[in-house]
Amino acid sequence: MFFLQLTRQFFQDMRARKLRTFLAMFGIGWGTVAVVLLLAIGGGFHAASKKAMHGMGEHLVVIWLSRTTKAYEGMQPGRQITMKSSDVVEMGRALPEIGLYSPEPRRSGLSAQYDNHRVKVSVSGVTPGYGIMRNMIPEPGGRFFNDRDVKARRRVAFIGNKVKSKLFDEGDPIGQIILLDGRPFTVIGTLQEKTQTSDYGGRDAGKVVVPYTTYTAMWGDQNVRNIVVRPNPVNDSEPMKKAIYTYLSQKYRFDPTDEGALSIWDTVEMDRFTDWFFWGLQALLGLGGALTLCAGGIGVANVMFLIVRERTREIGLRMAVGARDWHILLQVMLEAGLIVALGGLGGLSFSFLVIWAIQAAPTPEWLGQPQFSPLVSLITISVLAFVGLISGIFPARRAARLDPVKALEF
């Protein structure tokens, strides 16, 4: 009931001083829009960048086998380290630090043929885990190959979307037989189109992958140039890299401190850096927005000081008839809170509209779509609550500390 009275007081003030209250609310609304939009656009940018980076793969470490650069146990530097697909699989099974693994023997410039369509492709022999690591998501209706395909050395192929469109146009390739290097393979899946900003040895759209067992049977158990692994747990690649170094240096007898022997591309580390970078960017953007909101809060505090001044006599009267200090405090704080709440609500609604409009309009892919996440709203509402509290407390304290006699004579 008391609150109802206070709320009514607010609307009376608002009617009496429309422009002033409106400006105060507008300041809050503007700040809210700044916080929400900056955070939402930053979040969308982050998601878009991450997605593009993950076009090549997620939690991925690529290792190239290279030449030793240090002499070791009487052997000269410059010795090429060589592994076969089966060695890679053996290592993957032996080290618990490795979550997923795949060899990647590759032949490029092979011809792929369907009917009278023909295209040059690169063919790699990989494990089912490769599809997961490299984000090779099949179009609906198709699939990546599995352990049984590997075990049975099935002649199945997963083809890139560019390969698919060159060979099949709009037709359905699933279950069709294509010739790779003149040998028949059944297409079991095609790559869903993805944004890929980094690669090694070509974009996945132009590739064909087959089970490594099948590959070995067709093109021989050649030395692999690189292997692809995912650490376990996925977010920490350091222990895995150490374990691999130890394992390989023992097995192939090279100096475990020889950094030239293996050349490593660690996207896990890169990911972590990117996350930090965007986190910093978000914090900066959020801070910028929050400062705008604080400026709005100062506006509200000013208006509340004015209101308290104008209502000094009234406050004195309320005290004379028995209002305790906290009644007065609450009244002023609630009024400030209402201005902030209404301004914030307006700002949130407007931000919704803007985000909705941006999502409807075409935006560059690298910028992504602004995202109104629960976190963004949580942050915004917390900042609003904080600003409301702070902008109310000072005028409210001044009001609550008035001397009733002096206030009545004001």
Partner 1 sequence: MIEIRDIKKSYQMGEVTVEALRGIDLNIGSGEYVAILGPSGSGKSTLMQILGCLDTPTAGTYQLSGREVSGLKRNELAEIRNKQVGFIFQSFNLLAHASALENVALPLIYRGTSGRQRLQEAARLLERVGLADRMDHKPNELSGGQRQRVAVARALAGDPDLILADEPTGNLDTHSGDEIVALFEELVSEGKSVIVVTHDLEIAQRAHRVVRIRDGVVEEDTRQAA
- Other C-beta atoms within 10 Å of 405: how many? 11
- Other C-beta atoms within 10 Å of 256: how many? 15
Q: Is 358 in the site for partner 1 (CB under 8 A)?
A: no
Complex with partner 1: residue 14 or 339, whichever CB lies closer: 14
Site map 365..404 versus partner 1, x via CB under 8 A: ---------------------------------------x
Contacts of 358 (CB under 8 A, 6+ apart): 41, 369, 370
Q: Which of residues 236-275 bind partner 1 (CB under 8 A)?
A: none
What does the DSSP assignment read for 22-55?
Answer: HHHHHHHHHHHHHHHHHHHHHHHHHHHHHHHHTT
Q: Which of residues 323-352 bind partner 1 (CB under 8 A)?
A: 323-325, 327
What does the DSSP assignment read for 282-297?
Answer: HHHHHHHHHHHHHHHH
Q: Is 408 in the site for partner 1 (CB under 8 A)?
A: yes
Bond from prior residue into 404 cis (ω within 30 degrees of 0): no
Q: Is 7 in the site for partner 1 (CB under 8 A)?
A: no
Asked if residue 319 lies in contact with residue 69, where contact means CB atoms within 8 angstroms, the answer is no
Complex with partner 1: residue 272 or 327, whichever CB lies closer: 327
Complex with partner 1: residue 258 or 335, whichever CB lies closer: 335
Question: Rounded to the nearest whole angstrom, what is the least distance from the CB of residue 405 to partner 1 in the complex?
Answer: 5
First vs last Cα of the chain: how many Å apart?
A: 29
Complex with partner 1: residue 14 or 268, whichever CB lies closer: 14
Question: Rounded to the nearest whole angstrom, what is the least distance from the CB of residue 314 to partner 1 in the complex?
Answer: 6
Size of the site for partner 1 (CB under 8 A): 22
Q: What's the token pair of residue 99?
A: 């979550």
1-9, 61-69, 200-208, 369-377 -> range binding partner 1 (CB under 8 A): 1-9
What backbone phi and psi angles, to 5 degrees, belong to 106? Answer: -145, 140
What backbone phi and psi angles, to 5 degrees, belong to 324? Answer: -80, 165
Site map 289..328 versus partner 1, x via CB under 8 A: ------------------------xx--xxxxxxxxx-x-
Residues that bind partner 1 (CB under 8 A): 1-2, 4-5, 9, 12, 16, 313-314, 317-325, 327, 404-405, 408
